Structure 1
Amino acid sequence: MPDPVPLIAVLEDHPAQSEWMQRILSDAGYVCQIFSEGSALLTTLRARTPFSLLLLDWELPGISGMEVLRWIRVNCSEDMPVIFVTNRTLESDLVAGLNNGADDYICKPCQPAELLARIGAQLRRHRPSVSPDTNFTLGVFSVDMAKRQIRLRDEPIALTPKEFDLAILFLRHPWRLLSRDDLSALVWNREVPSASRTLDTHLSNVRKKLHFGPSTGTLLCASYALGYRLELLPSTDQAVVT
């Protein structure tokens, strides 16, 4: 039986912007429901409408997007991803959105490919998980978990054990923001402090050895106040579990 078509709620009070988003999402095969006011979205959420993902503007008449987000995180399932799509571009706004429970944050104006890539990444992240031992591919990379080997266009890459663990975090979770604390905990079990130069050295090695950059359709982006995220060029945003 095929998977159900994702139902996406869009909270956006600007008609031209909401129409643009609805057209992009519909053309990509999603079902989209538009809300121009936060109160209307909250009413629908109280009725337990099974949205797969929410796209929220921040600045709205009446209830703001941030207030909607806080209500969602108290009253709705944590499995429902929420992405801010907003004109607010200060890093402090990004931090506030993520700290209040947003899964991602996109600054307007955004390109259709980026919007769809971010949505696809969150839907993959929140679907039922597969075994961490399952082999997978991402664009030009293929991963054999049993052999602990990453291949780039069928060529094996020589990695140390910790470099492999670090690389897997980014390849398995594209577009996911990983803080230095996350990396310290998940790769070194906090034995290496998050501020250690060891972490920077391993990040640099992984970036060089996997050739993260335009040649592989990948970008390892850093925000030193927040962490690191593997971003994919549109043609590469395809993760396939095998």
Structure 2
Amino acid sequence: MGKKIASLEDAPADAALIRRIIASGGHECVTFTESRKLLLALRNACFDLLLLDWSMPDLSGREVLAWVRTHLDRRVPVMFLSGRDAEQDIIGALAAGADDYMVKPVRPAELSARVECLLRRAYPAVQSPHAPLRLGEYAFDCAMRTATCNGHPVCLTPKEFDLAVLLFRNEGRIVTRDHITAAVWGREISSLSRTIDTHVSRVRSKLGLQASQALRLTPVYTHGYRLERIERAAA
């Protein structure tokens, strides 16, 4: 399945080239010509990879990276595409949290290979939908559609089971409301509906995630929900 990639690039020719390269790999590329517009978009939408130019007319790519690493899932890969080729710039960007750095001019085959490498690393191959799932004291038999906590059965409705498995398979990542809707219900749900929130509340209660010593399920404002390890959240 193709990924959604954000490109921060104010040079029209480079932006068009990057979009063509990303599209040729089967992914969607959204171009932002201003850093602030990208930051606004990141508050309401999720991207699987960020490609950042360093020199922008408003905020620099380094400033965008700092915001991303503070506010978003740290496993979202970030790659710089920049004309700055000084060794200290490259080292500084990587030390600040970038996952890769490519000096312009953009070389299509190399960029495509680097993008695919980052995506493979960040999003390992999806397991079979019937593969068993175990995380901490929780276990899900996806073939028999049963759940246990510390070996004790947990009674979940079909939709609650699908929602729980989706959240547990994406532990540590933000699962958007749109993703939940498509994966669990397979249809659109009105933005005014409380269906998702009601089911999340039931899953949290039945699995004891509000009292678990290892995991917690929390809302992420304007995005969706995230199941996270408490020790990771504290760190």
1:81-230 paired onto structure 2 within 5 Å: 92=40, 94-95=42-43, 98-99=46-47, 101-102=48-49, 108=69, 126-190=123-187, 192-213=189-210, 215-230=212-227
CA contact (8 A) 1:212 1:220 kept: yes
CA contact (8 A) 1:181 1:194 kept: no
Structure 2: unaligned runs, 5 residues or longer: 1-7, 28-35, 51-64, 78-118
Q: Deviations over 1:199-222 (max 9, x none)?
A: 221111011111113624122221
Q: Is 1:233 aligned to 2:230, yes or no?
A: yes
1:2-13 paired onto structure 2 within 5 Å: none
Structure 1: distance between partners of 2:121 and 2:191: 27
Q: In the TM superposition, what is the alpha-carbon distance from 1:226 to its structure 2 partner?
A: 1.3
Q: In the TM superposition, what is the alpha-carbon distance from 1:175 to its structure 2 partner?
A: 2.1
Structure 1: distance between partners of 2:20 and 2:210: 39
* Aligned residue type for 2:144: K
Q: Partner residue of 2:88?
A: none
Q: Count the aligned residue pairs.
A: 165
CA contact (8 A) 1:140 1:216 kept: no
* Aligned residue type for 1:95: R
SS at match of 2:226: strand
Structure 1: distance between partners of 2:45 and 2:172: 16
Q: In the TM superposition, what is the alpha-carbon distance from 1:75 to its structure 2 partner?
A: 6.9
The 3 A distance-change label for structure 1 pair 162 and 173 is: same
The 3 A distance-change label for structure 1 pair 225 and 91 is: farther
Aligned-residue sequence identity (percent) comes to 34
Structure 1: distance between partners of 2:126 and 2:198: 30
* Aligned residue type for 2:46: L
CA contact (8 A) 1:125 1:173 kept: no
TM-score by structure 1 length? 0.50
CA contact (8 A) 2:45 2:223 kept: no
CA contact (8 A) 1:183 1:194 kept: no
Q: In the TM superposition, what is the alpha-carbon distance from 1:228 to its structure 2 partner?
A: 1.3
Structure 2: distance between partners of 1:91 and 1:203: 28
Structure 1: unaligned runs, 5 residues or longer: 1-57, 79-87, 237-242
Q: In the TM superposition, what is the alpha-carbon distance from 1:170 to its structure 2 partner?
A: 0.2
* Aligned residue type for 2:49: A
Q: In the TM superposition, what is the alpha-carbon distance from 1:144 to its structure 2 partner?
A: 0.8
TM-score by structure 2 length? 0.52
Q: Deviations over 1:66-106 (max 9, x none)?
A: x8x9798457675xxxxxxxxx9x9736337835x437x97
1:30-41 paired onto structure 2 within 5 Å: none
